[in-house]
A and B are shown apart, each in its own frame.
Chain A
Amino acid sequence: MSRAVGVRALALREGAARALLAAAAAVSIVAVALVCLFLLVNSVPALAHIGLAEFLLGSEWRPANGLYGIFPMIVGTVYVTAGALAVGVPAGLLCAVFLSCFASRRAARLIMPGVELLAGIPSVVYGFFGLVVIVPLVRTHLGGQGLSVLAAAVLLGIMILPTVITVARTALDAVPSRYYEGALALGADHERSVFAVVVPAAASGLLTAVVLGLGRAMGETMAVIMVAGNQPVVPESLLGGVRTLTANIALEMGYAADLHREALVATGAVLFVLILLVTALIGALRKGRAA
């Protein structure tokens, strides 16, 4: 009798646990839905008022005069992100090649904790470093204010290094060693085997590393604010100031109200859509590799 009750209690407990755990798993679905919902609901009125084309393509951002065009910020995000990739990707991929194919075990064991530390350093610390080191360097050697596209690109290039290195290294390590050995057997030397056989074999993984770096550069806020100058105009040169989408939100959200505030949320929505595209690209790359 009591045994039957025990079994039933047990089944009840198992069922409750399963339901609870499923609910925990569902949290991320709910979270994404809520983020989409809140960004959408809070930006649609502004978009309807300003006009989508005017908002995306307008080149004047002057909230005090009722002008809300984020085109300069979209261009700014593209410039800064592209610059960051130009700086960070070659260094990061080559470092990954070094770690995977050239470094002695001891050297790799020394460098990897450094890369992990680089990944953990908060972005304000990077921003601070950029402000007191990179910005003055640009100002004294190249002219201009120093707060510029170039400074932001270099700083973000450094910041995406750990992402690029760790992902690219994993991809390189995953290339079967028989590829490398086959190249050696055909008479290629070590360098040629690595660069002509191992690296191309890891291409899709390396591409994933680049796209992850792109996502990180595009979404970075605080470090960019501290070194980019933040003028809401399309920069005329590498040394000109620039404002990204992320910076636009963080700079003005503190005091914005009404339409201005909604326009900033809409800026966030545009950024969110861009990031979703990047995430989808990463997913597609991963699926392509699995197939």
Chain B
Amino acid sequence: MGSRSRSAASHSSVAPLRRRASSLLLRGLAYAGAAVTVLTLGSLVVFVLVNGVPHLTPSLFSGEYTAQNVSLVPALAGSLLMAGAALLLAVPVGVGAAVYLVEYARRGSRFVAFVRVTAETLQGIPSIIYGLFGMLLFVSALGWGLSLASGACTLALMVLPVIMRTAEEALLAVPDAYRQGGFGLGAGRLRTVARCVLPSAAPGILAGVVLALGRCLGEVAALLFTAGTVAQIPDFGGSGALGLLDSCRTLAVHLYVLVGEGLHLDEAYATAVVLLALVAGLNALASAAAKKMRKGSAL
């Protein structure tokens, strides 16, 4: 990359004028493309912040959601519960699958090829299809109704390919010397993977998990018909594990409902600010983890 960024050779004063002009035009185009991107991002973020930050009032964070005060606390709790449950399901399966593909499977086996193709297919499926599927399977066929459990299972399926792919990349980046070291000390494959390979791949896996968490927090289409939109915190205190069968809304669903009702736009802006802040925080976390990964594997 560094070798190609603007070398002195581009300033040749003998070039014909016409050619200089076309070069200038091309350069202008590239700069314009970057400018459009930066300006779009800037205006979006600034717009949401300017309109939302003044409405981040304490009443927005009071525990109870009422028609007068559309508190976002139940939705925030719903987001955390939903994302937590989805990751609890998806991370072990996704990392396990990646470990199998990288450490156990024979290279080029038909099973591996099939897993790859299906994982790519899953990655391409739009979230509304996941919502449809979740509704048909979890809500109707299994009879869980609109619930935290249905929503979390749907989200888990949706983020599974993300976790699988990033974990696979992280595992592939671990030097073979680590594995040879483990085997050389007499450890079996399982112990080698658990003690030598996984720890050094952990930051990369973590970056993928954070990415998946971001997708869970932002998802609406997959949740509307699986988790519903009830603004309440699932009642684990009263009904124990049956709280999993309570409907709840996440922050993103909350924002969608508020905008749809059109009565609480100020609160909608404030909710958008909270969502943006969460995403920005997660992005920072992911890139910190990725940086750690790069440093770790360079050793």
Q: Produce 1/0 per residue, B83-114, CB < 8 A to A.
A: 00000000011101101110011000001101
User: Using Cβ atoms and an 8 Å threshold, which residues of chain A touch B97?
Assistant: 21, 24-25, 27-28
Instruction: Please give the distance in Å from B254's CB to the nearest CB on chain A.
Output: 9
User: Using Cβ atoms and an 8 Å threshold, which residues of chain B touch A249?
Assistant: 128, 131-132
Q: In the complex, are the beta carbons of A198 and B225 less than 8 A apart?
A: no
Q: Produce 1/0 per residue, A12-50, CB < 8 A to B.
A: 011001101111111111011011001100100000000
B61 within 8 A of A: no
User: Using Cβ atoms and an 8 Å threshold, which residues of chain B touch A165?
Assistant: 37
A34 to B129, CA, bound (A): 12
Main secondary structure of the interface of A (DSSP, over half): helix
A121 within 8 A of B: yes
A170 to B287, CA, bound (A): 17
Question: Which of A62-70, A108-116, A235-243 forms contacts with chain B?
Answer: A108-116
B242 within 8 A of A: no
In the complex formed, the residue of A with least CB distance to B210 is A120
Q: Produce 1/0 per residue, A87-103, CB < 8 A to B.
A: 00011111111111111
Instruction: Please give the distance in Å from A206's CB to the nearest CB on chain B.
Output: 13
Interface hits, B1-45 → A, CB 8 Å? 1-7, 9-10, 12, 15, 19, 22-24, 26-27, 29-34, 36-38, 40-41, 43-45
Partner of A133, one of B47, B93, B129: B47
Known: A184-B9, A219-B124. 14 other contacts (CB 8 A): A17-B190, A24-B94, A24-B96, A25-B96, A27-B93, A29-B118, A38-B141, A94-B30, A95-B30, A98-B33, A221-B128, A246-B221, A279-B120, A279-B121
- Which residues of A are interface residues toward B (Cβ below 8 A)? 10, 13-14, 17-18, 20-29, 31-32, 34-35, 38-39, 42, 90-105, 108, 111, 113-118, 120-129, 131-133, 158, 161, 165, 173, 177, 180-181, 184, 189-192, 194-195, 198, 215, 218-222, 226, 246, 249-250, 253-254, 264-265, 268, 271-272, 275-276, 278-279, 282-283
Mind listing 21 A-B residue pairs with CB under 8 Å? A13-B190, A31-B160, A34-B137, A38-B141, A91-B33, A116-B283, A123-B220, A128-B255, A128-B272, A158-B40, A161-B37, A177-B3, A190-B7, A191-B23, A192-B22, A215-B124, A249-B131, A254-B225, A268-B129, A271-B129, A275-B125
